[in-house]
């Protein structure tokens, strides 16, 4: 935020009865998400959310709704996104909010909205819950970016309604939620047309919007609802989601904040402010997984992998948003490897079940959120750890990992070991489309296949190092000093340099729509958000709406 007096503890936990800005209506096989932003319902004071513009609070509700539709409503095969206001769909991110926010807040806001829109696309592609948009009024900036995240866009054909990405001409910034990338990579809009579209304030309407690929259909306003209902039923008819299944209620997430400690059921975090370190300990399951699918469904949110996904997701968001000065996350685990492996076995054996599919996808999204977080992540593998399968992904996601060779003096527990399962070989790809193992071994692609032969094997420090799964393997004599020095050294570096370095190193290999959004777009927007042309005294973002003209430094950088 701009200063300490404006700092707000952001709460990501919510549910439909607490929504201020969205209405969720479910009539299987179709659900409807209606954006009706409360003008005075901003996350913090100082701006009004006019014209269905949004801030982080609006998007937190959207993210929650997308999650609930996947887990609580298995009979829903299509979701319509529309506006509850007359003659306006969405004006995008609130300009006043952006202009008064500190740089880090803007960047985190864009990152979260990107992740939410990626989740919408994943719901369409992987959960077979297709999203479509009914554009019933002007649809600008982030509003159009929301529409772009859906699979089908129907727009009212009238003099009032257009789609636009006016950030460059109006604000001297870029669309912050994947608009440029989706325009040319997803919708395949011709470059010259995209160039014109992104540099005109008025946008494009009517049949031209269809011809250029900006929307899929236009229809007279009087027929908009009828056509959208028809399209939604058509999309829903193609789903493999079980029409008669009972959903899993996403009960309120239990969390305790006490001083510098954050506690959940499956994990705990202790913040050491002197070292700028968050020490995260993930606890493995204490009992075997249910014997059959019926019992698994009956457990609901108490099923360990789902509980882990929800709690780790919330912790990452809490630390990212509310603890910006804690730049290093140290991850440990505690528990029994055999029980983690057994739960991975259940996820693998029942992969065709709708609920298990959603749990696997939720774990995938949460691990991706870890990957794109601008924090240094270190993993420590010690006696008593259970870095197995799904939890081993935390080691593979870390920027650096340390594994203790042998035991500790006075500790009777056996030496640390890591264990691969089938879940390390496909279900959890990164934003570059590769598994973390494949990303690790870009120079030796055959090595990943060879590691399949070691699934289920306990690998001690020497074996894990030989397999390329950990970075360093100090013994008990050197462990404390080596880990301490590594953390102290990391804390002494420039956070800006580390953010750029980590993002550049984490996603080798191919580019995807997601990797472009988080790497290319985020890097450019991060830079542009700090330039005087945007945020200086006469920058476009600062003088917007004042009647003053912005003044630009005309030198190209």
Are 398 and 331 a contacting pair, CB within 8 Å? yes
Q: Which two tokens stand for residue 403?
A: 């594994």
Q: What is the pTM of this model?
A: 0.96
Cα 90 to Cα 81: distance, rounded to the nearest angstrom: 11
Query: What pLDDT, on a 0 to 100 scale, did the predictor assign at position 192?
Result: 98
**3-state SS assignment for residue 487:** helix
For 272, list phi and psi in degrees, rounded to 5: -105, 100
Q: Pick out the chain residues at pLDDT < 50.
A: 1-6
389 inside domain:
yes
**3-state SS assignment for residue 337:** helix
SS (H, E, C) 278-290: EEEEEECCCCCCC
Are 150 and 163 a contacting pair, CB within 8 Å? no
Query: What pLDDT, on a 0 to 100 scale, did the predictor assign at position 71?
Result: 98
- According to DSSP, the β-strands at 418-419 and 400-403 are unpaired
For 33, list phi and psi in degrees, rounded to 5: -110, 115
227 inside domain:
yes
529 inside domain:
no
Range of the domain at 287: 256-503
- The number of domains in the chain is 2
556 inside domain:
no
119 and 10 housed in the same domain: yes
Nearest C-alpha neighbor of 406 from the set 474, 486, 330:
474
Query: What pLDDT, on a 0 to 100 scale, did the predictor assign at position 523?
Result: 79
As a whole-number percent, the residues of the chain with pLDDT over 90 amount to 91
Query: What pLDDT, on a 0 to 100 scale, did the predictor assign at position 1?
Result: 36
- Among 236, 270, 299, give the residue marking a domain's end: 236
Mean pLDDT score of the chain, rounded to an integer? Answer: 95
174 and 128 housed in the same domain: yes
263 and 162 housed in the same domain: no
Domain CATH number, residue 426: 3.90.226.10
176 and 90 housed in the same domain: yes
192 and 307 housed in the same domain: no
521 inside domain:
no
Residue pLDDT, tens place only, 475-516: 999 999 999 999 999 999 999 999 989 999 999 999 999 999
193 inside domain:
yes
Which residues make Cβ contacts (< 8 Å) with residue 208, sequence separation at least 6? none
549 inside domain:
no
166 and 263 housed in the same domain: no
86 and 153 housed in the same domain: yes
74 and 205 housed in the same domain: yes
Query: What pLDDT, on a 0 to 100 scale, did the predictor assign at position 7?
Result: 63
Query: What pLDDT, on a 0 to 100 scale, did the predictor assign at position 518?
Result: 86
One-character DSSP codes across 427-448: SS--TTSS-HHHHHTTT-HHHH
107 and 223 housed in the same domain: yes
Are 456 and 421 a contacting pair, CB within 8 Å? yes
Residue pLDDT, tens place only, 401-442: 999 999 998 899 999 999 999 999 999 999 999 999 999 999
- Among 471, 488, 503, give the residue marking a domain's end: 503
Residue 192: Cβ-neighbour burial (10 angstroms; 0-12, 13-18, 19+) = exposed
359 and 410 housed in the same domain: yes
Query: What pLDDT, on a 0 to 100 scale, did the predictor assign at position 525?
Result: 79
Query: What pLDDT, on a 0 to 100 scale, did the predictor assign at position 3?
Result: 43
163 and 273 housed in the same domain: no
Query: What pLDDT, on a 0 to 100 scale, did the predictor assign at position 521?
Result: 74
133 and 196 housed in the same domain: yes
Helix axis angle, 354-371 relative to 56-72, nearest 10°?
150
User: Quick one: how many helices (H) and strands (E) in the chain?
Assistant: 23, 17
466 inside domain:
yes
């Amino acid at each position: 935020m701009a200063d300490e007096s404006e700092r707000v503890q952001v709460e990501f936990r919510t549910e439909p009865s607490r929504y201020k800005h969205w209405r969720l209506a479910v009539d299987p096989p179709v659900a409807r998400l209606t954006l009706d932003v409360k003008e005075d319902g901003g996350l913090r004071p100082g701006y009004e959310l006019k014209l269905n513009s949004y801030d982080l609070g609006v998007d937190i509700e959207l993210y929650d709704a997308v999650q609930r539709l996947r887990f609580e409503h298995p009979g829903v095969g299509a979701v319509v996104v529309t506006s509850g206001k007359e003659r306006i769909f969405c004006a995008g991110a609130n300009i006043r909010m952006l202009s008064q926010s500190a740089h880090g807040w803007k960047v985190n806001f864009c990152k979260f909205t990107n992740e939410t829109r990626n989740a919408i696309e994943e719901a369409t592609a992987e959960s077979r819950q297709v999203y479509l948009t009914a554009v019933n009024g002007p649809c600008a900036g982030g509003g159009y970016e929301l529409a772009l995240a859906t699979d089908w866009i129907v727009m009212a054909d009238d003099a009032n309604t257009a789609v636009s990405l006016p950030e460059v001409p109006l604000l001297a910034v870029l669309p912050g939620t994947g608009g440029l990338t989706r325009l040319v990579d997803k919708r395949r809009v011709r470059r010259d047309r995209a160039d014109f579209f992104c540099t005109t304030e008025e946008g494009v309407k009517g049949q031209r919007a269809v011809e250029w690929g900006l929307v899929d259909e236009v229809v007279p306003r009087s027929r908009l609802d009828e056509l959208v209902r028809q399209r939604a039923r058509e999309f829903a008819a193609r789903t493999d989601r079980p029409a008669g299944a009972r959903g899993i209620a996403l009960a309120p997430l239990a969390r305790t904040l006490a001083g510098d400690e954050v506690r959940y059921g499956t994990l705990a975090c202790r913040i050491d402010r002197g070292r700028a370190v968050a020490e995260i300990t993930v606890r493995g399951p204490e009992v075997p997984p249910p014997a059959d699918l019926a019992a698994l469904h009956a457990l609901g949110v108490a099923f360990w992998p789902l509980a882990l996904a929800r709690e780790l997701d919330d912790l990452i968001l809490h630390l990212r948003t509310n603890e910006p000065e804690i730049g290093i996350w140290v991850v440990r685990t505690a528990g029994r490897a055999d029980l983690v492996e057994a739960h991975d076995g259940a996820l693998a054996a029942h992969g065709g079940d709708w609920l298990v599919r959603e749990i696997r996808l939720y774990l995938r999204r949460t691990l991706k959120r870890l990957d794109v977080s601008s924090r240094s992540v270190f993993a420590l593998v010690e006696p008593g750890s259970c870095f197995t399968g799904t939890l081993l992904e935390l080691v593979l996601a870390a920027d650096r990992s340390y594994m203790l060779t042998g035991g500790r003096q006075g500790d009777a527990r056996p030496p640390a070991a890591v264990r691969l399962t089938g879940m390390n070989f496909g279900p959890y790809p990164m934003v570059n489309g590769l598994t973390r193992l494949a990303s690790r071994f870009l120079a030796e692609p055959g090595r990943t296949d060879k590691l399949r032969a070691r699934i289920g094997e306990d690998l001690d420090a020497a074996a894990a190092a030989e397999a390329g799964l950990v970075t360093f393997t100090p013994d008990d004599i050197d462990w404390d000093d080596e880990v301490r020095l590594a953390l102290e050294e990391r804390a002494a570096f420039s956070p800006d340099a580390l953010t750029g370095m980590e993002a550049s190193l984490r996603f080798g290999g191919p580019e995807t729509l997601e990797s472009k959004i988080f790497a290319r777009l985020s890097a450019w927007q991060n830079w542009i958000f700090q330039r005087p042309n945007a945020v200086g005294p006469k920058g476009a973002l600062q003088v917007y709406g004042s009647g003053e003209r912005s003044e630009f430094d005309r030198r190209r950088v």
